[in-house]
Structure 1
Amino acid sequence: MESIPQTEHEINKGPKVIALATLLHVIVSIIVGLRIWVKVHRRLSMSLDDWLILSSFVLQWGLYIGMVLFVEIGGLGRPIIVNLAIDRNRLVIDQKLYFAGQLVYVTAISMVKLSILFMYRRIFPTHLMNIGSMTLGAITMAWWLSVSLVIIFQCDPIHKVFDPFMTTGHCISSYTFFFANGFPNVVTDVAIICLPIYEIWNLQLPHSQRVALASVFSFGLGATITSLVRMLPYIRAEVRTDLDFTITLVDPIWLISLEVGLATICASLPVLSPLLRAFLDSSLFSFCGSRKVHNRPAVLHTVQTIGSRFGQRAMAAGTRRLGHDAVDISLATFERLEDEGKDEGKDDRVNNNATQLNEDGRRKTTDL
């Protein structure tokens, strides 16, 4: 301890990591809580994408707890020479926490991706979307399985991963491995973000609403960019061999939580649109004259109206029979993210509205 320069003792990035991670997980907790509240408040059943988000959310708190332990017990954010001087066993603890964190991360991010894909299938029940979501879902599961197996069997013997002082056996380069698996991770992210764009662009909506709606589903680019930035320390580690383990891992571990958190927020935004719409319809916004549907931001008005299982059929039929009025009926009546139990009732209301308008038209013609 006495031979270590004082400047090394003063380096400690751990508290900053905990502060940022705490803020992130509080925000994600609020978003997920609001998502569940919207479901309960609207008396909608929990769907598979909701359960996947909840499962990932639990794992994200596991990542947070592991990060706190990494900082407080393993010395993350402090120079490795200081950690070894304090307790030689710290490096063993670091390796165990890092190993567990890797498995939790790949599982959590895979669950979020699958949740988004299942949500796509509910919102856009088309043949193309079914094929695309199933294909990307299979690729995501294959990526999760392959990465998990490599993490588990990265050393021979396996327990060498927990013992950095073990002289026998060998391990693959963890930096090279995570750089290699990061590339397909980013590719699948981009593919999932682009998947609904074609369906959105074919909706019978104004151009501005389609752009606004596409921007909601493109929010996940933040998670993709985070994943790319997270690979930079691994690239530097391949070039330099003098990097400090407990300092180098600060950014990748923090960015892991940020990536999964942003992906969770992205997956929840379409579900939260009724809450945002209700907020804009509150008395505060009513005072400003924004209670009218047409004064809401286009994206909030649009997310609620697309992709019901009968929406395209009813809209097409209504357009043929009622002209411009059919579009107004469809936008006012079709609310996305409803459970299938309410679909039939909505279909009846649309048909009743169409029948009523036809009868009114016939009466007016008779009167003339």
Structure 2
Amino acid sequence: MAMTSLQPLAYAVAYVTFFIGTTSMGLRAYCRIRFLKTWGWDDMWALAILIFSIGQQIILHMFLYWGCGLHMDTLSPVQQFNVGLWLFIEELMYYTVHFIIKMSLLTFYLRLSRSPTLRKLIFLGMSFNVAIFLTNLLSAIFQCVPFDEILHPGTHPNAVCINRLALLVAPSVLNIIEDIYILVLPISTVWNLQMTLRRRVAVLSVIAFGASAVIVACFRLIPLFELYASPDVSWILGKMVIVAALEIQLAIVASNLPAMKALWLHLTRSSTNGSGEPSGSKGYKLSSMERKAAGSRYGSNKRGSITMLERGILSTESEEELTRMASKVAREDSNRDSYREGAAGTA
């Protein structure tokens, strides 16, 4: 017997993934404030992600409410009109959510890197992101002239519209290309850091989690081609709800994972620390040491200073290593000051 409804599965996937993604947002904010004690522009973008993720969830719910996941011939004319209306709204929201998630990741990289080359590549990625967003947004808004042809297809014989296949596939392909660019951007920097191979692989694994969202985005191309070829729009949009929920929420979790590692390490240390002292206390001492090292007179020197990338991503990876680095910075600062005082006395 053929399946007659995708709605139960679509509702389950949409709400479970939304819960996971929203929870990761809360954990990110908690870790930033409680453990890492940092708050940057990438976190402001993350707040925007939360707002637009809620909007995205409302749209997916409205899709299902008006009949997506059911066959088109079972829907009333009012339902069919609202399916088309919410499809247009979803296009705009989908592009916006992707734009904000990418800006959050790129701003995170920018905040952690002092390499001129990498910063140029990050700014280049931001420029691509803005260009892709504006291209997708404008093509969606002006896909047909007159505009009413978008909401009532076939009612305007003289309407001029962008090729439907290009309109469906091109934005997704551009987003996938930008996602891949963002994924590979920090690999060489992390790989060249002075740390063990195991730690390099661990950090890269956190960053590479975003590949799961890219893989889902590639699978999204399948229902897009079906949407172009089949008149059963509402049924295929039921599949799109499932894929879109997975893709967006996986991307949100990937953008939050670097900050969430602090909570994971805190919990694992708490389970292995038999003393009465809270395991997280070392992290607070470390943060204080890092601030002193960074704020010292010569702390900004590239040689002997703790780089932003090491203190950002890797501060949750190895507190012991950073403690040794901070001590080394303090000793070097002390030696420099002693040398300068001796030289001044001799003069």
TM-score interval, normalised by the smaller of the two chains: 0.7 to 0.9
**Alpha-carbon distance change, 355 to 237 in structure 1, aligned in 2, over 3 angstroms:** closer
- How big is the shift at 1:69? 1.3
SS at match of 1:204: coil
* Aligned residues of 1:77 and 1:247 also touching (Cα < 8 A): yes
Indicate whether 1:44 and 2:37 are aligned.
Answer: yes
> After superposition, where does 1:27-106 map in structure 2 within 5 Å?
27-42=20-35, 44-72=37-65, 74-83=66-75, 87-106=76-95
Deviates more, 1:149-158 or 1:115-124: 115-124
Equivalent position of 1:314 in the other structure: 304
Equivalent position of 2:273 in the other structure: 286
Equivalent position of 1:275 in the other structure: 263
What one-letter code is carried by the residue in structure 2 that aligns with 1:201? Answer: W
What one-letter code is carried by the residue in structure 2 that aligns with 1:207? Answer: L
Alignment partner for residue 352 of structure 1, among 330, 333, 341? 330
Q: Deviations over 1:241-297 (max 9, x none)?
A: 444110112222322232221111111111112111111111x3336xxx999xxxx
- How big is the shift at 1:315? 5.0
Equivalent position of 2:215 in the other structure: 225
**Alpha-carbon distance change, 237 to 77 in structure 1, aligned in 2, over 3 angstroms:** closer
- How big is the shift at 1:88? 0.9
> After superposition, where does 1:171-182 map in structure 2 within 5 Å?
171-182=161-172
Alignment partner for residue 199 of structure 2, among 206, 209, 216? 209
Equivalent position of 2:119 in the other structure: 130
Task: Tell me the matched-pair count.
Answer: 308
Indicate whether 1:250 and 2:238 are aligned.
Answer: yes
Equivalent position of 2:15 in the other structure: 22
Equivalent position of 2:342 in the other structure: none
Q: Distance in 2 between matches of 1:40 and 1:205?
A: 26
Query: What stretches of structure 1 of length at least 5 have no aligned partner?
Result: 1-6, 294-304, 317-326, 335-346, 359-368
- How big is the shift at 1:202? 1.0
* Aligned residues of 2:210 and 2:251 also touching (Cα < 8 A): yes
Equivalent position of 1:331 in the other structure: 322
Q: Deviations over 1:176-217 (max 9, x none)?
A: 322122222111111110000110111111222212211111
Q: Deviations over 1:217-239 (max 9, x none)?
A: 1111011111100011223445x
- How big is the shift at 1:111? 0.7
- CA-based RMSD of the aligned residues comes to 3.1
- How big is the shift at 1:331? 2.0
Q: Distance in 2 between matches of 1:245 and 1:102?
A: 15
TM-score by length of 2: 0.80
Q: Distance in 1 between matches of 2:93 and 2:279?
A: 46
* Aligned residues of 1:14 and 1:78 also touching (Cα < 8 A): yes
**Alpha-carbon distance change, 329 to 310 in structure 1, aligned in 2, over 3 angstroms:** farther
* Aligned residues of 2:266 and 2:279 also touching (Cα < 8 A): no
What one-letter code is carried by the residue in structure 2 that aligns with 1:261? Answer: Q
* Aligned residues of 2:13 and 2:245 also touching (Cα < 8 A): no
Q: Which has the higher contact order (CA 8 A, sep 6+)?
A: 2
- How big is the shift at 1:43? 7.5
Q: Distance in 2 between matches of 1:48 and 1:133?
A: 14
Deviates more, 1:249-258 or 1:267-276: 249-258
Alignment partner for residue 117 of structure 1, among 102, 106, 117? 106
What one-letter code is carried by the residue in structure 2 that aligns with 1:268? Answer: N
TM-score by length of 1: 0.75
Moved over 4 A (4+): 308-312, 327-330, 353-358
* Aligned residues of 1:155 and 1:170 also touching (Cα < 8 A): yes
**Alpha-carbon distance change, 333 to 93 in structure 1, aligned in 2, over 3 angstroms:** farther
Q: What percent identity do the matched residue pairs reach?
A: 23
SS at match of 1:249: helix
**Alpha-carbon distance change, 248 to 311 in structure 1, aligned in 2, over 3 angstroms:** farther
**Alpha-carbon distance change, 164 to 274 in structure 1, aligned in 2, over 3 angstroms:** same
**Alpha-carbon distance change, 242 to 213 in structure 1, aligned in 2, over 3 angstroms:** closer
Equivalent position of 1:148 in the other structure: 137
Q: Distance in 2 between matches of 1:242 and 1:115?
A: 36
* Aligned residues of 1:176 and 1:234 also touching (Cα < 8 A): no
Deviates more, 1:160-169 or 1:192-201: 160-169
